Amino acid sequence: MNLLDYETLRVIWWVLLGVLLIGFALTDGFDLGSGILLPFVARTDGQSRIVINAIGPVWEGNQVWLILGAGAIFAAWPLVYATAFSGFYLAMILALSALILRPVAIVYRSKTRSAAARQLWDALLFLASLVAPLVFGVAMGNALEGAPFSLDATMRLTYSGRLLDLFNPFALLSGFISVAMVCMHGAAYLAAKTEERVAFRARIAGFAAAILLILSFAGAGYWIATMLPGYRIVGDLAHDAASNPLGKTVVREIGAWIANYRAMPWTVAAPAAGFLGAAGAALALTRGHDWAAFFASALSVFGVVATAGVSMFPFILPSSLDPTSSLTVWDASSSRATLFTMLIVTAVFLPLMLAYTAFIYRVLRGRVSEKDVESDHASY
């Protein structure tokens, strides 16, 4: 078999999309979590500056993963991009507004000497950091439930949902999981990067967030297994044919998302990593092993995000309105030539980006103290 036939390229790009989304959750996740925890771990203006300067040099680079993820969806899965960014337009605007407000709050806070103004910017930083992961989690919950769209014979999209419909009970649970996950990750980062007073409070917050993540992740798993209808393709579907989402038959049934774990038992490693990583982070934080907690938290983030992907495979965005219109790995991708060309570009530039990121984090290693931020006039 040709190693890079159309079927293989589709799977490779499904994996790469997952890598980019996990990369965003791992990197931007800890600075979003740090922003959420700001009011809880900082008691003075100096301590607030410690938290902000712990993430200040890296947050912008971390968001590159989000841009790459959106770009990969646009190029490799154009139907998914058109459907998701059209249907979830208002939710995306809400999340992007929060991501824009966050750097504004960080920078403008450092430009004012007024205590009241700084407290206002701190509150806005907290709000922006909370809204973004909440909306991303809600979007993932809606993807698992299926989005209310359909495609006609000319691939013209019809979307019938409203913004408030996205915030349904299961989607809100998914949003809570996302918030708890980034809080745990951010707390582990702050515990490892800040002076003792802030680090002590971060360890407490991280332990609580890890426990909440375990409980809510388990609750979502039970919900998916027993109450949430999933999607299943009936019959065979060509894996190397031209993309045409309407060339299959799909049914909705409870337990369909669990079927992948029976068909591919190795995929159980994803939810196991989610649980074990969170438990390991909680244990490490109680013992003051801060970097161990951070890497355990990273394992949990990987497991939680990967669980959503492997549960839905081969679906990327199912349709609750017309299951036949659901978009899958096999029928929603770009052409083989496009996927192959993009793979070559990715093989060149992704290692460079990883190397540069590793270099930056090495340069910025070490804890941030109040003395550091007061002596450095370039700090936030």
Residue ranges per structural domain of the chain: 18-147+173-230+266-311+336-375
For the stretch 102-147, pLDDT in tens is 989 998 888 888 888 999 999 999 999 999 999 999 999 999 999 9
Task: Please give the Cα distance from 315 to 144 (Å, whole number).
Answer: 9
pLDDT (0 to 100) of residue 182:
97
Residues 6 or more apart whose CB falls under 8 angstroms from that of 28 comprise: 59, 62, 63, 65, 66
Provide mean pLDDT across the span 21-47.
92
Q: Is residue 89 helix, strand or coil?
A: helix
Phi, psi of 43 (to 5 degrees): -105, -20
Q: Which one is predicted more confidently, 347 or 371?
A: 347
Burial class from Cβ neighbours inside 10 Å (0-12, 13-18, 19+) for residue 269 reads: middle
Q: What is the pLDDT of residues 234-285, one digit of tens each?
A: 988 888 888 899 989 999 999 999 988 988 899 999 999 999 999 999 999 9
pLDDT at 311: 94
Buried/exposed 285-300: b ≥16 CB within 10 Å, e otherwise = beeebbebbbbbbbbb
> Residues for the chain: how many in total?
380
pLDDT value, residue 148: 92
Contact 176, 352 (CB under 8 A): no
Up-side HSE of residue 273: CA atoms within 13 Å toward CB? 19
Mean pLDDT of the 9-35 span = 93
Strands 157-159 and 229-234: unpaired
Sequence-separated (6 or more) residues with CB below 8 Å from residue 370: 46, 47, 49, 50, 195
* CB-CB contact of 10 with 239 (8 Å): yes
**Please, which pLDDT band fits residue 287 given cuts at 50, 70 and 90?**
very high
Please give the residue that has the higher pLDDT: either 226 or 370. 226
Contacts of 167 (CB under 8 A, 6+ apart): 138, 175
CA atoms within 13 A on the CB side of 340: 10
What pLDDT score was predicted for residue 111? 85
> What percent of the chain clears pLDDT 70, i.e. is strictly above it?
98
Q: Look up residue 259 and give its DSSP letter.
A: H
Task: Report yes or no: 360 and 61 within 8 Å, Cβ to Cβ.
Answer: yes
Q: Does 84 score more than 50 pLDDT?
A: yes
pLDDT over 70 (residue 1): no
At residue 46, does pLDDT exceed 90?
Answer: no
Which alpha helices (H) appear in the chain, and where do they start and end?
6-41, 45-55, 59-62, 64-76, 78-87, 89-111, 115-145, 163-166, 169-193, 196-226, 259-263, 269-286, 290-312, 336-363, 370-375
Tell me if the pTM is above 0.75: yes
Burial 364-374 (b: 16+ CB within 10 A, else e): eeebbbbeebe
- Does residue 377 carry a pLDDT above 80? no
pLDDT in the model for residue 376: 63
Cβ atoms of 6 and 167 closer than 8 Å? no
Domain with residues 18-147+173-230+266-311+336-375, CATH architecture: Up-down Bundle (1.20)
Backbone angles phi and psi of 15, in degrees to 5: -65, -45
Instruction: Report the alpha-carbon distance of residue 368 to residue 6 in Å, rounded.
Output: 49
CA angle 83, 75, 94 (to 5 degrees): 45
Instruction: Say whether pLDDT at 309 is over 80.
Output: yes
Output the pLDDT for position 318.
95
pLDDT of residue 57: 82
Mean pLDDT of all residues in the chain? 91
CA–CA separation, 48 and 38 (whole Å): 7
Query: For 26-55, what is the mean pLDDT?
Result: 92
* Tens digit of each residue's pLDDT (9 = 90 or more) over 173-186: 999 999 999 999 99
State how far the Cα of 184 lies from the Cα of 284, in Å rounded to an integer: 12
Evaluate whether 36 touches 137 at the Cβ level (below 8 Å).
no
pLDDT digits (tens, 9 = 90+) for 59-75: 888 888 888 888 889 99
